[in-house]
Amino acid sequence: MKSKGRVKVGIIGSQFEADIHAESFRIMPDEAEVVAVASPTPGNAERFARKHGIPRFFTDYRTMLAEPDIEMVTIAAPNALHAQMTVDAANAGKHVVCEKPLCMTLEEADLMIETCRQRGVLLLYAEELFFTPKYVKAKQMADEGAFGRVYLVKQAEKHFGPHAPWFWDVNRSGGGVFMDMGCHGIAFCWWFLGRPKIKSVLAHMGTYVHGDKTEGEDDAVCLLDFEGGAKGMVENSWARRGGMEDRVEVYGEGGVTYADLHMGNALPTYSEYGYGYAVEKAPTTKGWTYPVFEELWNYGFPQEMRHFARCVRGKDTPLVTGEDGRVVQEALLAGYRSAGLGARVNLPFRPAGVKRPIDLWRQGGAAA
């Protein structure tokens, strides 16, 4: 019989997002504890374990999955690995928290969902914007009627490029900035509006700055048409200089709200000399900067991981699952196809034989 104490967690990965997972569990330790980490790069798992006080480390995640006390694993690995890791974890009887985007294709999404269902484990989709306090407050106000009928939701996330080399490699990531951050905006607009059917997607994208590093797009704009008439606008960039931008705008016939994730939680600062850390992806700390405090809490990561642990114990009903990730995945694929065609793409959309979402853009007007 499994323990009913804190959920025992294993982390797959040892870089930026894995750090966030480990720190999030540390911030809110009442429901879960990290007991193991796995990373294939020599020395990385051990260094990560020492940094976060994790007792066990492995170079092969499958060896970690054989540990009988581990109940839940979080996947913080390149997108191309999500599906196989999820299947392996489910077959080992572990609940799965998978980072965004869920995977590369709808075939992978369906396999992940079905395997977890058959094995009786949860597949939880790590979309932290559903837990971001400022954005949650905006949705609460909308649900209470503050803005009347909401007709437009905008979400923008922009900076000058990702934090790990694999993001630039479309074979591992599946695409560029739209895969990396467009998944956030699609999920947010859909969730904010109450999960209505996505009728169509219209997207434009290009590679303007980082063509020397990637085949992927470094700037994208996407318009979502929802059943009921509301629209969603998603703006993403790896070409924006000046650090991180993450904001939401909500427009209704009876009101409006603006939520800037960083500017409302920042200390406007000028420094001739620089200092240690301002905010995620800030390129410098000299001159004018906007250092934040309680960064992970204001993103919603600790609340997200605590909720997932409570779901494992049956204390909470999952707010975001693999099925939600699949909805986002379909919209991502439609967005890439739309950008390739230069035209709107209607949903449902299930392209055949596509291994990398970016190919739907790069093939231009060719038939999907």
pLDDT score of 265 more than 80: no
Average pLDDT over residues 225-239: 98
pLDDT score of 172 more than 70: yes
**With helix as H, strand as E and coil as C, how does the chain read?**
CCCCCCEEEEEECCCHHHHHHHHHHHHCCCCEEEEEEECCCCCHHHHHHHHHCCCEEECCHHHHHCCCCCCEEEECCCHHHHHHHHHHHHHCCCEEEEECCCCCCHHHHHHHHHHHHHHCCCEEEECHHHCCHHHHHHHHHHHCCCCCCEEEEEEEEECCCCCCHHHHCHHHHCCCHHHHHHHHHHHHHHHHCCCCCEEEEEEEEECCCCCCCCCCCCEEEEEEEECCCCEEEEEEECCCCCCCEEEEEEEECCEEEEEECCHHHECCEEECCCCCCCCCCCCCCCEEECCECCHHHHHCHHHHHHHHHHHHCCCCCCCCEHHHHHHHHHHHHHHHHHHHHCCCEECCCCCCCCCCCCHHHHCCCCCC
Q: Does the domain at residues 7-126+301-318 carry the CATH identifier 3.20.20.70?
A: no
Confidence label for 57 from pLDDT (cuts 50, 70 and 90): very high
Distance CA 332, CA 309 (A): 28
Annotated domain spans of the chain:
7-126+301-318, 130-261
What's the pLDDT at 41? 94
Share of the chain above pLDDT 70, in %: 98
Confidence label for 365 from pLDDT (cuts 50, 70 and 90): low
**pLDDT single digits (tens) 272-331:** 898 887 777 777 888 888 788 889 999 999 999 999 999 999 999 999 999 999 999 999
Average pLDDT over residues 262-277: 82
**Mean pLDDT of the residues in the chain:** 95
Confidence label for 123 from pLDDT (cuts 50, 70 and 90): very high
What's the pLDDT at 368? 46
pLDDT score of 135 more than 80: yes
Average pLDDT over residues 77-93: 98
What's the pLDDT at 2? 46
pLDDT score of 74 more than 60: yes
End-to-end CA distance of the chain: 49
Confidence label for 3 from pLDDT (cuts 50, 70 and 90): low
pLDDT score of 45 more than 90: yes
pLDDT score of 1 more than 60: no
The CATH classification of domain 130-261, taken from the options 3.20.10.10, 3.30.360.10, 3.30.420.40, 3.40.50.720: 3.30.360.10
- Where is pLDDT greater, at 118 or 293? 118
**pLDDT single digits (tens) 97-115:** 999 999 999 999 999 999 9
**229, 151 contact by CB (below 8 A):** yes
Confidence label for 263 from pLDDT (cuts 50, 70 and 90): confident
Average pLDDT over residues 157-164: 94
